[in-house]
Every structure is written in C-alpha cells, then in structure tokens.
Amino acid sequence: MRLALIAVTFATALAGAGSAQTFTAENQLKVVPLNGSDFEVIEARGEGPRGIWCAAADYAVNQGRTGPGQRIYVKTPRGPSVSVAGRKGVVFTTDASRLSQAPSRSLSVGTGTIGEGLPVAHAIQFCRDYQIELNDIFHRRIGD
C-alpha cells in the first residue's frame, strides 16, 4: 500500500511538472516549449492561422524568447503534434538557422509552409481579435 501511494505521488508530481511548462496564450491556445528556440502551438477549437500566429507571438514575447522586432518562423507545418498525442500543432522557431528550408516572407498568413515567417510585432496584432473593448460593449447596447 505504501509503495503504491509513493508511486501515485511520484506520477502526479511528474505530470504536474510537465504541464507547468505549458504556456496558455491570450486566445487560450496551449504552447509547449521544445527547446531554447523551438515551441509548438497546439491547435484547438478549429482555430485558424491567425489564432495560431497570435499564440506563437504571445508566447515568444511573454516567455522572453524574442522581442517584438524579431521574426518567428514555421519550422514544422500544421500536422500531428510532436508534443501532445492525438492533437494537431505547428512548431515555430525563433532561430532561422534551424529551418530545413530558407526563410520566406508571404503576403498571406498561413501555417502550412516551412520557413514562413512574420515579425513578432505583426503576429501579435492577431491577438487583438480576442480583445473586447468597453466601447464595443457600450455601442452594442445602444444599438450603434
């Protein structure tokens, strides 16, 4: 009995340690750090590319991975998660030298191309989709 209790306590501590590293972005998507420059955004609720880029930028800035003037890149396009079984995710990197293809710039926002990059300051703007301003609520109430 005592051995079983110790095993359960140990397993709970390990599970808590793994989840403590997970970052919850402003739009409630989970971001899992993979190493010093790579991290994975776990897709949820049918979130599209704008939401995924928002979560990546929010993580990069708030976890001290990079500043607003730097770029983040798609390292592994949307597909099976590398960190959470049975889920979809996108792996991003702050280090262009870790890409298997040369970095690229695009006018469209997607998560399906290795090397696609955006400035963090641009990607963080997608988080505005999740912010509610008091004026938005006020104008809806008065019929404007």
Q: Which residues are CB-neighbours of 15 under 8 A, at least 6 positions away? A: none
**Model confidence over 70-102: pLDDT tens digits?**
999 999 999 999 999 999 999 999 999 999 999
DSSP 6-34: HHHHHHHHHHHHHHHTPEEPTTS-EEEE-
Give, in order, the Cα–Cα distances in Å from 55 to each of 14, 58, 70, 128, 138: 25, 5, 16, 11, 28
- Helix H segments across 21-133? 49-62, 120-123
**Residue 142 binned pLDDT confidence (cut-offs 50, 70, 90):** low
pLDDT at 29: 96
* C-alpha neighbours within 13 Å on the C-beta side of residue 114: 8
- Of the chain, the percentage scoring pLDDT greater than 90 comes to 62
Cβ atoms within 10 Å of 122's Cβ, excluding its own: 15
Residue with the bigger pLDDT between 48 and 13: it is 48
- The mean predicted confidence, pLDDT, of the chain is 82
Answer whether 54's CB lies under 8 Å from 41's CB. no
Question: pLDDT-derived band of residue 56, with 50, 70 and 90 as boundaries?
Answer: very high
Rounding to the nearest 10 degrees, give the CA dihedral for residues 34, 36, 38, 41.
60
pLDDT score, position 128: 87
pLDDT above 70 for 135: no
From residue 110, alpha-carbon distances to 5, 73, 123, 125 in Å are 48, 11, 11, 15
pLDDT of residue 104: 85
Distance between CA 67 and CA 69 in Å, rounded?
5
